[in-house]
Amino acid sequence: MPADKIGMDKAEQDKTTPQTLASEFLSEFQTSGNYLREPIEALARLASSKNAETSKEATGAIFKSLVEMLADSFEPKAVTLYNRLFAQLIHFCRNTPQGEMLNRELSGFGILREEDLLARAERLRYTRQLNKSFAEKQKIKRAVVLSRVTIGADIAVTSLVIERLKQEFANAEIVLVGGAKTSELFGGDVRIHFSDIQYQRAGTLAARLSSWLDVLRCIRQLTDGLSTDQYLIADPDSRLTQLGLLPLVPEIFLHKQNASEQRQSVISQADREPNEKAPLVDNYIFFPSRELGNRTKHSISELTTAWLNAVFGVEEKALPRLSLKSADKEFVSLLVRHMRQKDNRPIVTINFGVGENPLKRISDGFEKQLVSYLIQKGAKIIFDKGAGNTEIERANLVLEEARRTTYQSRKIKVLEVDETSLQTLLSESIVDADVIVWQGRIGVLAALIGESNLYIGYDSAGQHIAAALGVRCIDVFAGFTSPRMLERWQPTGSAKSHVIAVDTLHDEIDEEAVFRQTLHHLQESLVLSL
């Protein structure tokens, strides 16, 4: 038993479990509107525990039961609540022994109180047009973009920000700050440079907050020697700044009497009067992604474009895009040419990964049935095993069933491929294979999707990769916590994407109904002997 729970009886322990505290807080707010500080402080205390198990459990409750739930609702009221509770968490952490550096940096920005954090976050909810002339834009030498941390969001949102900054600031070096996987998705663009900052999505609250300190150091290095009018920082609602709560640049304020210079977004954010003070910072822009267009059904990509149009004062149309490395594209092109050498059977890439969220899955049976059906009807499969032991084990079950499937009265051939084995397999092995099994880097998976006729998967990064590469997609979207989440994260691209909505939170899954819907969309997407 954790040391901080010794001496409690079971009833007392149940009352103070992190999940109970999170549920108590949220339930009270939803029913009465009362903000209970005590459960949030208790969660912060548990998340800061020296006991690793206690800290991990409390951090999980904070992010999964509060932060992610509020973010996925895409409602202004949820943004207000998030800002309030996370400002309280940050203020608690800065006053702990391990929060000394956090406190020092916040103080350096003039943020001394919890109210200062909250006031700054509220100001960011208003989009102001950048007042930069053509000459001023030419002076920008470096534009820094923060990663959204997750691959799908970096494609659906961050890629659009990058492309617009390339267009607006012709002389600027574009630097993407984020994890190593970003370079696999955008590394083919010579204008984009990368700064590797890791965000610990499974880390403690203190570890996640420390990522901001890493970002600060990174930005100071990138802007060293540059004046404030020679660089710009774009925050697309990144987890690296805890959705904008943690600052990256000092603020100057534009008071209400100068309101003629304030510009609201073309899409209504909320029924509120403009704030008395909006941030006047011409080298920092923030995308209020969780509430912009809250009365619309637009995808997150469409809202990103609308926000960029409001910031730069020019209407442009854009779609998410990737810039894969030449080596990855060449590697995959060679593999797929061999797959197509004997016939022109359609190639379907499949990934059943769910990012450790079981509510996004349908079932083992659905996955086995779908893969077997595609093989029997003449499709060749590129099957990505995913990441982590659980996903790999589930993938192996699907492959066991696939090996028992026949095509044109013969047993099918399943071939496992990785980057080191490809050269020895470029022979009749790949030519004759019905299923190519891939387990490896995201850059190669993206290139495989790009060479396919169709992509099928659950709500994860794959459908956004397909959309960005102009590949048709069937997205079995389960586990959404709100209708708005389903609308926001629908894939956006030049090719047709079919979204099959499955409410796994409230309804029992009708596997056969989902399978029938999938077959219906297959008929529209592929030429199979259905």
Summarised one tens digit per residue, pLDDT across range 9-56 is 444 444 579 999 999 999 999 999 999 999 999 999 999 999 999 999
Domains of the chain: 3-123 (no CATH), 134-312 (3.40.50), 326-525 (3.40.50.2000)
| Assigned token pair, 137 | 């834009």
The label of the residue with tokens 């609201």 reads 264
Full strand arrangement of the beta sheet holding 380-384:
414-417, 435-438, 380-384, 347-351, 454-458, 473-478, 497-502
Q: How far lies 40's CA from each of 69, 76, 91, 243, 364, in Å?
A: 15, 20, 11, 18, 38
What pLDDT is attached to residue 427?
Answer: 59
Q: At what angle do helices 364-376 and 389-403 cross, to 10 degrees?
A: 40
Q: How many CB atoms lie within 10 A of CB 15?
A: 12
**DSSP-assigned beta bridge partners for residue 278:** 254
What pLDDT is attached to residue 422?
Answer: 65
DSSP 17-74: -HHHHHHHHHHHHHHH----HHHHHHHHHHHT-SSHHHHHHHHHIIIIIIIHHHHHH-
**DSSP-assigned beta bridge partners for residue 347:** 380
Going by DSSP bridges, is the β-strand pair 253-255/277-279 parallel, antiparallel, or unpaired? antiparallel
Phi-psi label, residue 113: left if phi above 0, alpha if psi -120 to 50, beta otherwise? beta
Query: Taking the CA of residue 489 as centre, how many other CA atoms within 13 Å lie in the half-sphere pointing to its CB?
Result: 29
Nearest to 67 by CA among 231, 195, 242, 219: 242
Q: Which residues in the chain show pLDDT less than 70? A: 1-15, 252-280, 422-428, 527-530
Q: How many CB atoms lie within 10 A of CB 274?
A: 12
What pLDDT is attached to residue 342?
Answer: 83
| Assigned token pair, 486 | 């389903």
| Assigned token pair, 214 | 């890493």
Nearest 5°: the CA angle 467, 473, 475 is 105
DSSP 347-393: EEEEE---TT-GGG---HHHHHHHHHHHHHTT-EEEEE--SSHHHHH
**DSSP-assigned beta bridge partners for residue 423:** none
Residue 291: CB partners within 8 Å, gap ≥ 6? Answer: 74, 75, 76, 79, 125, 269, 270
Nearest to 406 by CA among 382, 376, 367: 376
Residue 49: phi and psi, rounded to 5, are -65, 150
Over its C-alpha atoms, the chain yields an Rg (Å, rounded) of 25
> Is there a contact between 79 and 129 (Cβ–Cβ < 8 Å)?
no
Residue 277: CB partners within 8 Å, gap ≥ 6? Answer: 123, 253, 254, 255, 256
Q: How many CB atoms lie within 10 A of CB 282?
A: 16
What pLDDT is attached to residue 252?
Answer: 63
Q: Rounded CA gap, 504 and 363, in Å?
A: 11
What pLDDT is attached to residue 356?
Answer: 81
pTM of the predicted structure, to 2 decimals: 0.91
Nearest 5°: the CA angle 491, 235, 217 is 130
Contacts 24+ apart (CB under 8 A), 411-417: 412/375, 417/335
What pLDDT is attached to residue 506?
Answer: 84
DSSP 250: -
